Amino acid sequence: MISSKEKNKKGRQRIILHIDMDYFFAQIEERENPHFKGKPLIVGADPREGRGRGVVSACNYEARKYGIKSGMAISRSYKLCPHGVFLPVNMQLYKKVSESIFSIVREFSSEIESVALDEAYADLTRRVKNFKEAKQLAEKIKRKIREKERLTCSVGISVNKMMAKIACELAKPDGIRVITSSQIFPVIDDMGVEAVPGIGPKTKEVLAEKLKKKNPRIKDGKLFSKKKLVELFGKRGEEFYEKFRGRDKSPVVTERKAKSVGKEYTFQEDTKKAETIIKVFKKLVSEVYKETKKRKIKGVTVICRYEDFETHTKQTTFEPQTYSKDFLLKKGMNLLLKFLAGSNKKIRLVGFRVMIK
């Protein structure tokens, strides 16, 4: 039986997907430098400079065999594996890849929440009928990411965010794991309490002490009453009480999607000069394009306010699609030229707006 909290407003069990790129920064570096593939690769601070202050940001599986982990002092990782390949962090590149990954995921589900550069949740409840379909969708996402970015990722699918994240962890690397509601206890009961998102070393220590057990399991966590957990951890205690039982009602918080994005410009002096107006207009289109180029749009609007403050809009709509800057400019210019041809009044303000799917 699953708790009613696992159900959405319509009473249906939710289907939540969690996606996490495998050894993200390090995998991108392997892609960029194929000759490093197969060698221990560590991305982070320079191990030689200043005697290696700073930390490991990411490392590949070969490096992990030497006990290297992200967050570790870079000097320590150097001692563990002096022959490893050490590369600096190229954040600009990783951000670009991250954006591309999220836009791929967004093609398959509009309800996504990115929680880190390489990690996102998607609520598939309204998108698929069952876990089988969710898994097929995950396969498609993985394939697209592999084809487009030449990178692997792992995907977890379950009834809530906590369980989807745990499923994803179990799927690593390059896998898909589904955990249905009846599989929750068999899967999590014997995991260490630190597998619960939000439980770190300090919380684990408190639980270990109370339970008189060095490495408490999630099922041991169920021995605490809710009252006791609140006494120990405050508000977080309530959350742990639920999570020891595999329950998590937190929603996937979709990025607030603007329905439209637009820019406008008021001239210093009202004008009829087509050249001036078109120049400004092109700039507006460019700005709007920059903000929306990854999204699907279904129309464009041009706004004109005349010297007497009378304001008119003209609009074109089309099938939702991703698009080029030229496409946007063409659609916009068609409308703008109608304004310019249609009136003798001077223009005070011009605006451009796209409607997002």
Residues at the site binding ligand TTP, with contacts judged by CB under 6 A: 20-25, 57-58, 70-71, 116-119, 172-173
Q: Is 280 in the site for Mg ion (CB under 5 A)?
A: no
Nearer to ligand TTP, 84 or 221 (CB): 84
Q: Is 102 in the site for Mg ion (CB under 5 A)?
A: no
58 binds, among Mg ion, ligand TTP, none (CB under 5 to 8 A by kind): ligand TTP
Q: Is 151 in the site for Mg ion (CB under 5 A)?
A: no
271: Cβ contacts below 8 Å, ≥ 6 apart: 277, 346, 347
Say how many Å lie between the first and final Cα of the chain, rounded: 38
Query: Residue 250, Cβ neighbours under 10 Å: how many?
Result: 15
Q: Which single residue brings its beta carbon nearest to Mg ion?
A: 20
> Per this entry, what is the length of the chain?
357
Q: Is 62 in the site for Mg ion (CB under 5 A)?
A: no
Nearer to Mg ion, 116 or 337 (CB): 116
70 binds, among ligand TTP, Mg ion, none (CB under 5 to 8 A by kind): ligand TTP
Query: Smallest distance from the beta carbon of 289 to Mg ion, in angstroms?
Result: 31
Answer left, alpha or beta for residue 246, where phi above 0 means left and psi between -120 and 50 means alpha.
Answer: left
301 binds, among ligand TTP, Mg ion, none (CB under 5 to 8 A by kind): none
Which among 22-30, 122-130, 192-200, 300-308 is the span making contact with Mg ion, rule CB under 5 A?
22-30
Task: Count CA atoms within 13 Å of residue 299 on its CB side.
Answer: 10
Alpha-carbon radius of gyration of the chain: 26
CA dist 206 and 236 (Å) reads 13
- Contact between 154 and 172 under an 8 Å Cβ cutoff? The reply is yes
- Contact between 177 and 16 under an 8 Å Cβ cutoff? The reply is no
Query: Smallest distance from the beta carbon of 21 to Mg ion, in angstroms?
Result: 5
Among 29, 30, 62, 118, indicate the residue that binds Mg ion (CB under 5 A).
118
Nearer to ligand TTP, 41 or 336 (CB): 41
Among 16, 19, 20, 137, indicate the residue that binds Mg ion (CB under 5 A).
20
Q: At CB < 8 A and 24+ separation, what contacts does 62-69 make?
A: 62/38, 63/26, 65/40, 66/40, 68/40, 68/42
| Token pair for 198 | 């939000």
Nearer to ligand TTP, 172 or 293 (CB): 172
Say which residue the tokens 């954006």 belong to. 99
Query: Smallest distance from the beta carbon of 94 to ligand TTP, in angstroms?
Result: 8
Query: Smallest distance from the beta carbon of 248 to ligand TTP, in angstroms?
Result: 19
Catalytic position from the list 29, 119, 149, 242: 119
Answer left, alpha or beta for residue 144, where phi above 0 means left and psi between -120 and 50 means alpha.
Answer: alpha
Task: Count CA atoms within 13 Å of residue 123 on its CB side.
Answer: 18
CA dist 149 and 133 (Å) reads 24
Query: Smallest distance from the beta carbon of 106 to Mg ion, in angstroms?
Result: 18
Query: Smallest distance from the beta carbon of 27 to ligand TTP, in angstroms?
Result: 7
Nearer to ligand TTP, 101 or 336 (CB): 101
Query: Smallest distance from the beta carbon of 28 to ligand TTP, in angstroms?
Result: 8
Classify each residue of 184-216 as buried b or exposed e, where b means 16 or more C-beta atoms within 10 Å of its C-beta.
beebbeeeebbbbeebeeebbeebeeebeeeeb
Task: Count CA atoms within 13 Å of residue 84 on its CB side.
Answer: 32
| Token pair for 124 | 């598939």
Nearer to ligand TTP, 66 or 267 (CB): 66
Among 6, 24, 155, 353, indicate the residue that binds Mg ion (CB under 5 A).
24
220 binds, among ligand TTP, Mg ion, none (CB under 5 to 8 A by kind): none
User: What is the DSSP code (8-state) at residue 51?
Assistant: G
Nearer to Mg ion, 22 or 239 (CB): 22
Q: In what helix (H) or strand (E) does residue 89 lie, and over which residues does it extend?
A: none
Tell me, yes or no, if 119 is annotated catalytic. Answer: yes
The set of catalytic residues is 119
What does the binding site for Mg ion look like in residue numbers (CB under 5 A)? 20-21, 24, 118
